Chains A and B, each alone.
Chain A
């Protein structure tokens, strides 16, 4: 218990003094995670809305696939992206392996099914409400999807948060495709794993505290924004 408190004290010290290495790791973590979540939303929101709102052959199968992919193992994604980006892979010439871009790609692949599957559920429920009115007005497929995404926007913020939670805590895939290279691809989760293995518990703990704090701040900010926006909108 004493050693835990000592480590915690040192961790707080690192954060308070603004250790440059720590700030660099935090910055890269946020850049990779937020970019991946944004990309996943760009792909996953319309995909989920299309599957949730439109009727087409294979729709049920698409729903099953999306739900199944929510549990995609990060190491499997890491391996697939590694093989694609490695020198002998189809995307090898791009030279993306062991770069933040590779980490963004891996996280996007992990987060997109979560965003798409949760969006599908939300849009499907809302569409059940709207379906007859849409049919009566003869709303086309594109207008239907856009309208549902817009009207579900406050609920979809929670979906983006779920994606953020998955991405920011991810370690398996990013360590495989990023390589955990100091000052290049080292992020909070990979550093926590590394420093723990080296016995530098105070650094690992400091990053753990930062990770939790960031998650709390982001969640709090989004939920506050959502509540405020909803209050203003529905006033």
Chain B
């Protein structure tokens, strides 16, 4: 068992896992033999992981390896073909989903103003009256978009849209925030602003699960890292450990920029 808060369970002896659980933060999310098939192919293959409260977990791996799919399965956007996702020990249900939020690679902006985008999200999550107004104001400040509240969200720059998307997700007070390559198409300044929002959210106690290709970002933001290859988790550990001394051939090849074709995949 790796000495991280993010665990791949299978190799661990039961007594050790119990000991570590007792000493570690609460497990928010766990997966059991999570599989997802499509088009006759297994795209996610027997993933068993725990995500503990308050940690920042980076999911890395080559294109098409299943990072985004794993996030969607964890968030309950798609049902697994086999296995299950547990939220605080119970099957992920509406209540669990309410404690989660997700930010997509391409921010989804409604054809409305900035403030109306925030208002819509808060309204469907049941926030009303003065609390909703307070959260709207807070989100605008957080995203540094106070001066653009009445502007149509779709005409904002890519960086502003992504800041709004993160602020909108956080305004619903999630316990866990999934981010799918949120800075993939942003310039360094916008990337820094989005990363700052993520840091602030984490400081406020939000658990972060972020898929990224950016090694620098993983080092800047991550506590734990899970490396995927061909729909499987092939390596986990602390970010610095995995990135400085990868144990799996898939991670080593990816970090060196080599094409890695695993015959078993």
Chain B residues, CB < 8 A from A137: 121, 124-125, 172
B41 at the interface (CB under 8 A from A): no
Cα–Cα distance between A14 and B242 once the two chains are bound (Å) = 87
Structural contact, A136 and B102, CB atoms closer than 8 A = yes
A19 at the interface (CB under 8 A from B): no
Known interface pairs A136-B75, A138-B94, A235-B152; A130-B110 also in contact (CB < 8 Å): yes
Chain B minimum-CB-distance residue to A133: B108
Q: Which of A55-63, A139-147, A171-179 contacts B (4 or more CB under 8 A)?
A: A139-147
A-B pairs under 8 A by CB, number: 43
Known interface pairs A132-B77, A136-B102, A137-B124; A151-B112 also in contact (CB < 8 Å): yes
Cα–Cα distance between A135 and B110 once the two chains are bound (Å) = 14
Known interface pairs A129-B108, A133-B108, A136-B77; A234-B154 also in contact (CB < 8 Å): yes
**Interface membership of chain A positions 121-161, coded 1 if the CB is closer than 8 angstroms to chain B and 0 otherwise:** 00000100110110111111001000100011000000000
**Count of residues in B whose CB is under 8 Å from the partner chain:** 24
Structural contact, A147 and B108, CB atoms closer than 8 A = no
A233 at the interface (CB under 8 A from B): yes
Known interface pairs A138-B97, A147-B110, A151-B112; A133-B104 also in contact (CB < 8 Å): yes
Cα–Cα distance between A130 and B107 once the two chains are bound (Å) = 10
Chain A residues, CB < 8 A from B100: 136
Chain B residues, CB < 8 A from A135: 77
B220 at the interface (CB under 8 A from A): no
B90 at the interface (CB under 8 A from A): no
Cα–Cα distance between A143 and B120 once the two chains are bound (Å) = 10
**Which residues of A217-235 have CB atoms within 8 Å of chain B's CB atoms?**
233-235
**Nearest Cβ on chain A to B118's Cβ, whole angstroms:** 12
Structural contact, B124 and A132, CB atoms closer than 8 A = no
Known interface pairs A147-B120, A151-B112, A235-B152; A138-B101 also in contact (CB < 8 Å): no
Structural contact, B104 and A140, CB atoms closer than 8 A = no
Chain B residues within CB distance 8 Å of chain A: 72, 75, 77, 94, 97-98, 100-102, 104, 108, 110-112, 120-121, 123-125, 151-152, 154-155, 172
Chain A residues within CB distance 8 Å of chain B: 126, 129-130, 132-133, 135-140, 143, 147, 151-152, 233-235
- Per CB-CB distance, the 8 closest pairs between chain A and chain B, nearest first, are A133-B108, A151-B111, A136-B102, A234-B152, A139-B124, A135-B77, A137-B124, A143-B124
